[in-house]
Amino acid sequence: MNKLKIAIQKSGRLNEDSLKILKDCGISINNGNDQLMAEASDFPMEVLFLRNSDIPQYLKDGVVDAAIVGDNLLVEKGKGIRAVEKLGFSKCRVSIAVPKTFEYTSVKDLAGMQIATSYPNTVNDFLESKGISADLHQISGSVEIAPNIGLADAIVDIVSSGSTLFKNNLKEAEIILKSEAVLAVSPKISEESNAILQKFRFRIQSVLKARNSRYILMNVPNNKIDAVGKILPVLKSLTVMPLAEEGWSSVHSVIDKNTFWEVIDELKAVGAEGILVCPIEKMVL
Q: What is the pLDDT of residues 11-29, one digit of tens each?
A: 877 999 999 999 999 998 8
From CA 34, how far away is CA 56, in angstroms rounded? Answer: 21
The pLDDT-based confidence of 33 (bands split at 50, 70, 90) is low
- Decide whether 4-89+180-210 matches 92-179 in CATH topology: yes
The pLDDT-based confidence of 234 (bands split at 50, 70, 90) is low
Q: What mean pLDDT value characterizes the chain?
A: 92
For residue 210, the number of C-alpha atoms closer than 13 Å in the C-beta half-sphere is 17
CA dihedral 47, 181, 72, 165 (to 10 degrees): -120
The pLDDT-based confidence of 185 (bands split at 50, 70, 90) is very high
Bridge-based pairing state of the strands 4-9 and 45-50: parallel
Residue 3's CB is within 10 A of a number of other CB atoms, namely 16
Class of domain 213-279: alpha beta
From CA 145, how far away is CA 13, in angstroms rounded? Answer: 21
The greatest distance separating any two alpha carbons of the chain, rounded to the nearest whole angstrom, comes to: 77
From CA 107, how far away is CA 34, in angstroms rounded? Answer: 43
Task: Supply the DSSP symbol for 236.
Answer: S
Could you tell me the residue ranges of all domains in the chain?
Answer: 4-89+180-210, 92-179, 213-279
Q: Please check the confidence at residue 118 and state whether its pLDDT lies above 80.
A: yes
Q: Answer positive or negative: Cα dihedral of 157, 158, 164, 165.
A: positive
Nearest to 124 by CA among 136, 139, 108, 137: 136
Q: What per-residue confidence (pLDDT) applies to 35?
A: 78
The three-state secondary structure class of 208 is helix
Long-range Cβ pairs for the range 125-131 (8 Å, 24+): 126/176
pTM score of the predicted model = 0.85
The CATH number of domain 4-89+180-210 is 3.20.20.70: no
Q: Which CATH architecture has domain 92-179?
A: 3-Layer(aba) Sandwich (3.40)
Q: Which residues pair with 161 in a beta bridge?
A: none
Q: What per-residue confidence (pLDDT) applies to 261?
A: 86
Q: Please check the confidence at residue 43 and state whether its pLDDT lies above 80.
A: yes
Q: Which residue has the higher pLDDT, 4 or 257?
A: 4
Q: What per-residue confidence (pLDDT) applies to 32?
A: 62
What are the backbone angles phi and psi of residue 19, rounded to the nearest 5°? -65, -35
Nearest to 173 by CA among 105, 124, 115: 105
